[in-house]
Amino acid sequence: MTLHGRSRATCLELDANDELAPLRELFSLPAGVLYFDGNSLGPLPKAAVSRAHEVLAREWGEGLVRSWNEAHWYASPERLGAKLAPLLGALPDEVVVADSTSINLFKAVAGALHIQSLDAPARRKIVSERSNFPSDLYVIEGLCHWIDRGYEVVLVDGASEIESALDQDCALLALTHVNYRTGAMHDLARLSALAHQCGALIVWDLAHSAGALPLDLQRDGADFAVGCTYKYLNGGPGAPAYIWIAKRHHERFSQPLKGWWSHATPFTMDPNYIGASGVAKAKCGTPPVLSMALVECGLDVFANTTMSAIREKSLRLGDLFIDLVASRCASYPLRLVTPQNHALRGSQISYEHPQGFGLMQALIRRGLIGDYRHPNIIRFGLTPLYMRYVDVWNAVTVLEEVLSSGEFQAQEPAGAVT
């Protein structure tokens, strides 16, 4: 999509013809806000308000402990996993919703290393990217240190270095599919195949992919995947995450956080551990019931459309954003760091700006909510379920106004969350 002839009126026309436009009504969006941060925290699905009330007042308030069975709380990790599965290209019994992404990554990496200790015990290298999400790197380093069996974490920069690092010593490749800072996307199928060619397993972090673009983990041959539900899946702040394990690994999968919810029969209170079968082995303890109910409301929205429709609109919104910034903000020191090539980008547009923090704070004061990532990146998430083309037009208008006013140059107090 080029900017040729693009105007606010044509954006309104695109919205009028947008098959996803009615879905915006399913979300509660504050007036006067242009929300471009659904890649960090998705907005509130309206259904979540009444559902939260129902869980509190009826299921907890009246049902009390009976609700573990009667309101189906007990089976929620598997039920939500099955609802999420189509968005991942997974089988319904390959996914559970539980714990946080960081904790699930710990379990997935531990499980992968366990399988490799049976198949290829001499391999000692775990390859990841220096630009990976820091929590992933900390978890992998921490686990290797804890295991104390001489694993070495090798950090590389970019796709070609990843490929060169895949050799006979590599046990595991651990990558985030869409980079949280730049929005750049890896070729999941190709890297999974390359990892397997050299005898390594692969763990994917899909935090910025699930709900943002179509995934087909089964077809693409991945081994393990984890990700958040509070971003593009709109599950709510701090919502539990998910873990996917390819079925071919279920039998041999084993992870160290063997809490009672991963036992075959938790309520026999057996002093001996007998692991559940399948992906249930990846659970640990009691699920956060209220949060699980809200995740379900977020997932239910996706039943109204397809991931390919979402992806198509996301790319259009992104092209529009990039074109408008290029034409209207060309005289300012903004550098696009997101690939323009559709095959290489996720669903966010990021720019470097020398005063990125102050700039984002000024945009937020004007109602355009994106976010900032140290040291100089401003991010704008594209979320087709509730974003309009005219929102992109208005966002770039605000950006241009703030850049020309210079109001962002004042020193800003740094908050803990940026």
Ligand X SMILES: Cc1ncc(COP(=O)(O)O)c(C=O)c1O
- Report CA 340 to chain centroid distance, whole Å: 20
In this structure, the dihedral spanned by the alpha carbons of residues 131, 137, 140 and 143, taken in order and rounded to 10 degrees, is 160
For ligand X, give the closer residue by CB, 11 or 156.
156
Least distance (Å) from ligand X to the CB of residue 417?
11
* Separation CA 225–CA 203 (nearest Å): 5
The active-site residue, picked from 37, 205, 323, 371, is 205
From 5-13, 85-93, 130-138, 374-382, span contacting ligand X (CB under 6 A): 130-138
Check: CB of residue 26 under 8 Å from CB of residue 45: yes
Please tell me whether residue 16 adopts helix, strand or coil conformation.
helix
How many chain residues bind ligand X (CB under 6 A)?
Answer: 13
Among 100, 254, 376, 394, binds ligand X (CB under 6 A): 100
* Separation CA 235–CA 254 (nearest Å): 28
Least distance (Å) from ligand X to the CB of residue 367?
24
Query: Which parts of 278-307 interact with ligand X (CB under 6 A)?
Result: none
Least distance (Å) from ligand X to the CB of residue 61?
29
How is residue 58 annotated by DSSP?
I
The active-site residue, picked from 36, 133, 180, 372, is 133
Examine residue 136 and tell whether it contacts ligand X (CB under 6 A). yes
- What's the one-letter identity of residue 266? P
Q: Does the annotation mark 379 as catalytic?
A: yes
From 99-107, 152-160, 291-299, 323-331, span contacting ligand X (CB under 6 A): 99-107
Examine residue 131 and tell whether it contacts ligand X (CB under 6 A). no
Please tell me whether residue 96 adopts helix, strand or coil conformation.
strand
Where does residue 227 rank: exposed (0-12), middle (13-18), buried (19+ CB within 10 A)?
buried
Q: Where are the alpha helices (DSSP H) in 155-260?
A: 159-165, 188-197, 217-220
Q: How many CB atoms lie within 10 A of CB 288?
A: 16
Binding mask 221-240 for ligand X (x = CB under 6 A): -------x------------
The active-site residue, picked from 51, 281, 379, 388, is 379
Q: Does the annotation mark 231 as catalytic?
A: yes
Q: Which long-range contacts (CB under 8 A, 24 or more apart) does 90-93 make?
A: 90/217, 90/218, 90/244, 91/218, 91/247, 93/247, 93/278, 93/279
Q: Does the annotation mark 232 as catalytic?
A: no
Query: Which residue's C-beta sits nearest to ligand X?
Result: 102
* Separation CA 370–CA 376 (nearest Å): 13
Least distance (Å) from ligand X to the CB of residue 129?
11
Among 44, 175, 241, 282, binds ligand X (CB under 6 A): 241
Record the tokens describing residue 331, joined without a space: 């005289």
Examine residue 37 and tell whether it contacts ligand X (CB under 6 A). no
Q: Does the annotation mark 357 as catalytic?
A: no
Q: Does the annotation mark 138 as catalytic?
A: no
Catalytic residues: 133, 205, 230-231, 379
**Under the rule (CB under 6 A), what is the footprint of ligand X?**
100-102, 133, 135-136, 176, 180, 205, 207-208, 228, 241
